[in-house]
Every structure is written in C-alpha cells, then in structure tokens.
Amino acid sequence: MKFGTKIIHNGHEVEPHTKALGVPICQVSTFQQESVDHFGKYDYARSANPTREALEETIALLENGAHGFAFASGMAAISSVLLLFSPGDHLVVCEDVYGGTFRVITTLFSRLGIEASFVDTTNPDAIRNAIRPNTRGLYLETPSNPLLKITDLAGAAAIARQHGILTMVDNTFMTPYLQRPLELGCDIVLHSGTKFLNGHSDVICGFAVVRDPGLAARIRFIQNSFGAILGPQDSWLVLRGLKTLKVRMEESQRGAGAVADWLCRQERIQEVFYPGLETHPGFHIHHRQASGPGAVLSFTVSTVELTRKLLEELSLAAFAVSLGGVESIISYPAKMSHAAMPHSEREARGITDTLVRLSVGLEDPEDLIADLDRVLNG
C-alpha cells in the first residue's frame, strides 16, 4: 500500500463495534476489571487508552516502525526518550538542534550527569571525532532548524551502529510522508506532532517511534512511569489532522518551492536556505533520503530594520512561534525558537539577527509572494 492509502486505511478507519467511520474519543481514566487474577488489556489510561493507542499505531505504521508512543508535547517525547540515558553517558548532538532540545539537554539532563557535545553532523568526521568511550546516543535533525542543514542519516546511523550507539532523529520538518529515518537504519524517530502531523495549529503533542521490541519496552516503561502522555481529545484531533497529511505536505511544499525561487531573485534577500534549491550544499544527500524538500525555509534579510518590518508587516503569514500549520507562519529564530540559546552560541551557528524562518501554509503562493513583495520592495 502506498503512503496516501495507508494514511486513510490505517487499521482504524472503521470502529468494529458500531461501524463508525472514525475512532471514538475514549474520555476515561480507568477501566473495569473482570477478575482478580487477569486484568484486561486496559487498566488505567496513563498506561493505555484506546484513542491514544489508535494514534500510536497510526504513527508507527506511517514511519514504517513497529511501536509508536504519543506524548503531551514534542519536548515531552524528546525528554522521555532522553531518560533512556544514565549519569555518565555522553550524547553527540547536531549543533543547530531545536532550541528547546538544546535547553533541556544543557540545563536539565546535564544536571542529571548526562553530557553532550554539539557538532556539525553534516560532516561525518565531526561525528566520529566526537564519539567517546561513554557515548551512548547520537541525536540528529535533518533538515535542521532553522538553517535546514542536511545530515546523511544512513551514513550517520552506520557510524553510530559501529560504536553501539543509539541514533535518534527529530523528523518534525519532514514527517514520514517525506522521510522515514527507521528505513535508513536509525533507531528512534521523534516528532513534535504539534507541527505538520496535526497540521492545524490547535494541538500540542509529540511522538516517538521505534522498531526494536526491547527499545519499545523501555520507552513504554518511561512513558507509563514518567507519565507525559497525550490525552484522548488531543489524540483524536491529531488522528483527524493526519488524514490530510499527504495533501497538506504536497501543497505547502509546492508553495515553499515557489517562494524560495522568488526570494533567491530578490536584491534585499542575502541567502536562502531550502533543500529544494540545487545550490543547497545538502541537496543531493537530502534527495537521496527524502522524497521532497518540505515546506519550511529560512533566509537572511539585508538589514535588521527590514527584518523587523518583514516580521511585523506581512499580512498573510502570521508572526508567530511554530510551523507546519495550514496558515503560513513567519518566525524569528533569534528571539523565538532559539531564544534559549546564548547569543554567542547562536551567532556561531549562523542564527543571526537577520535570519527569518518561513513555514509555508496552504495559501496560494502567488498571494504569499505578492505580500512578501509589498513589504520587502514596497
């Protein structure tokens, strides 16, 4: 079955008892047990809830994994997975990782004795050189946030495997429609489902997906013990949002391509970062491991004044944190997603005060371009 069909026929398209064409919202915390000796499949909804379970099975199916876990946010998914590590363990992390991930690693997990080195994972030697005897995890984002840098997932996972290291990939920007890291040898896929997976800017949620049953059992234990689960209402909303994932990604990606091409021709735009551009240094690697460049791009503007004007005066892109909604969202990494990163670290990573990130929604690209033209060149 191809991806578009799988999204709709995900195993939960008909509810077996009522034949309803949808998953019921099981808004309960507990389940009656029949016998003292044998508890049913469901006992307490932190451990398992049928609505959440339908969503977890769906994300596992789409990522071509075996086990999915839904969490209360992307950060809850990421933090829960990082609880796999112990004091004394070391992580190698891609250097322009999501700001919240940088924050949780450098302020919370560091306190728990888990060390991290942030390296340019687009260079396989940088990964090799950062590995220590106590390295247990390799944490990747590709395309990265916000500079859309490309890491070779199969290559990085092979290096990690040689050293017995787990590879984790935050696949938020691509979604399984465009990129499936488990098929490339990575061990754990992470998501902020808040973005493209739900797609409607109305739920905060996160996912982890794996193939290995032992790893799944450890994550299930953490999910149940730590308890950062997704509730049934939100699980249902994400199941609904997911049904249109393919058409939303296709259409947003088409718009992003048109906007990126236009931006490249503008005098007041300095650099455009988008893996759909042949000039992007990661173009070939990206197109080997993903089926499209996605709908997020970033660019630098000639002056800080014009950057601010663009952020505040566009009428068709909301100036907001987040991405992956049906509406275009323009954001300012320096003060938003990467505000948690010290200024010097940020500048060193190229996240400057004239860098803008644009997540292209479902508006007609011609209208978006006219809006950008009005503010940039007006």
Ligand X SMILES: *Cc1c(COP(=O)(O)O)cnc(C)c1O
| Residue 204 touching ligand X (CB under 6 A) | yes
User: Burial code of 50-89, b = ≥16 C-beta within 10 A, e = fewer?
Assistant: bbbbbbbbbbbbbbbbbbbbbbbbbbbbbbbbbbbbeeeb
| Residue 252 touching ligand X (CB under 6 A) | no
| Residue 195 touching ligand X (CB under 6 A) | yes
Instruction: Rounding to the nearest 10 degrees, give the CA dihedral for residues 125, 77, 21, 175.
Output: -20
| Residue 194 touching ligand X (CB under 6 A) | yes
Q: How far is the CB of 172 from ligand X (least distance, A)?
A: 4
Q: Which residues contact 28 (CB under 8 A, 6 or more apart)?
A: 45, 49, 232
Please tell me the distance from the alpha carbon of residue 92 to that of residue 114, in angstroms, as a whole number: 11
What's the token pair of residue 93? 């992390």
- Cβ distance to ligand X smaller for residue 131 or 190: 190
| DSSP symbol at 184 | G
Find the residue with minimal CB distance to ligand X: 74
Identify residues 154-183 at the interface with ligand X (CB under 6 A): 170, 172
What's the token pair of residue 40? 């049913």
Q: Would you say 167 and 185 are in contact if contact means Cβ atoms under 8 Å apart?
A: yes
Q: How far is the CB of 295 from ligand X (least distance, A)?
A: 12
Q: Which range touches ligand X (CB under 6 A), out of 6-14, 25-33, 67-75, 368-376?
A: 67-75
- Rounded to the nearest 5 percent, the helix, strand and coil shares of the chain are 40, 15, 45
Q: Which residues contact 276 (CB under 8 A, 6 or more apart)?
A: 253, 256, 257, 260, 292, 293, 294
- Cβ distance to ligand X smaller for residue 76 or 362: 76
- Cβ distance to ligand X smaller for residue 131 or 167: 167
Catalytically annotated residues:
46, 98, 170, 195
| Residue 56 touching ligand X (CB under 6 A) | no
Q: Which range touches ligand X (CB under 6 A), out of 54-62, 152-160, 188-196, 223-231?
A: 188-196
One of 7, 45, 61, 75 touching ligand X (CB under 6 A): 75
Q: Under rule CB under 6 A, how many of the chain's residues touch ligand X? A: 15
One of 50, 65, 68, 74 touching ligand X (CB under 6 A): 74
Where on the chain is the footprint of ligand X (CB under 6 A)?
73-75, 98, 100-101, 141, 145, 170, 172, 192, 194-195, 204, 206
